[in-house]
Amino acid sequence: MSDGWHFGILQDGPPAGPGRPLIVKVGGSLLVRPRWPEVIAALLAATPGPRLLVVGGGPVVDGLRSIDAAAPRSATAMHWRAIEALGITARLVAGAVGLAVVESPGTEHTAVLDASRWLPVTAPLPEGWHVTSDSIAAAVAARVGGGLLLAKSVPPPVGDLMELAATGWIDRHFPEVAAAAGRISWAAPASPTPSDRPAAGR
């Protein structure tokens, strides 16, 4: 399997300013790819400069979705259980690629943000399955004035953000927070695997 990545632009705008990290949303679906730590390490090698990773929930949050589908709970309760799960995947990725975990985006070094610690003390987002780590990463980019890179298992099937939300490549709330996020680009592994899927993940 090749560890290369393909890149593209979704929304033009100013790049990350001097000393500002590039916000990298690491899609949770990437965590089920073979040799996923090497895949993420290759992404970091291809994106020089300070970066702040926001890791999606992937199969951890998918399990919560299945539990909720079987016996639905309140949207608020499940939203925050899913946010808590982001702390698990953040620490998993940080340990696998040798990065520190931080609880706020105020860092000039490459690190992994624990969104489960940051989100409750910052500007709130709507609560529900329509808000995932896609929108969280966009909110972080808007807060710190950095660009945003969405790293997912597959390239975007279309270029329009509203259409991408309709396909599930990004969450449905993302187009509302994207305008303040500056430049938004995408990345996808050069070599697909049978497990790759376009769905947005927390």
pLDDT per residue over 67-96, tens digit each?
A: 999 999 998 899 899 999 999 999 999 999
Instruction: Tell me whether residue 71 is in a domain.
Output: yes
Residue 24 resides in a domain: yes
Q: What is the CATH number of the domain that holds 105?
A: 3.40.1160.10
* CA dist., res. 3 & res. 36, Å (int): 9
**Residue 1: pLDDT band with limits 50, 70, 90:** very low
Q: Is the pLDDT of residue 14 over 90?
A: no
* Alpha helices, H only, 71-159: 75-97, 115-118, 133-144
- Report field, pTM of the whole predicted structure over 0.85: yes
Tokens of 152: 């997912």
Q: Is residue 198 part of a domain?
A: no
Assigned domain for 199 exists: no
Residues forming beta bridges with residue 79, ordered by sequence position: none
The rounded distance, in Å, linking the Cα atoms of 187 and 201 is: 15
- For 173-189, how does the pLDDT look when each residue is reduced to its tens digit (9 = 90+)? 999 999 888 899 999 99
Assess if residue 105 is contained within a domain.
yes
Number of structural domains the chain divides into = 1
Q: Is the pLDDT reported for residue 198 higher than 60?
A: no
**Length of the chain, in residues:** 202
Residues 6+ apart with CB under 8 A from 72: none
C-beta of residue 125 within 8 angstroms of C-beta of residue 131 = yes
Q: Report yes or no on 82 lying in a domain.
A: yes
Is residue 90, in this structure, part of any structural domain at all? yes
Question: What is the domain range of residue 145?
Answer: 5-189
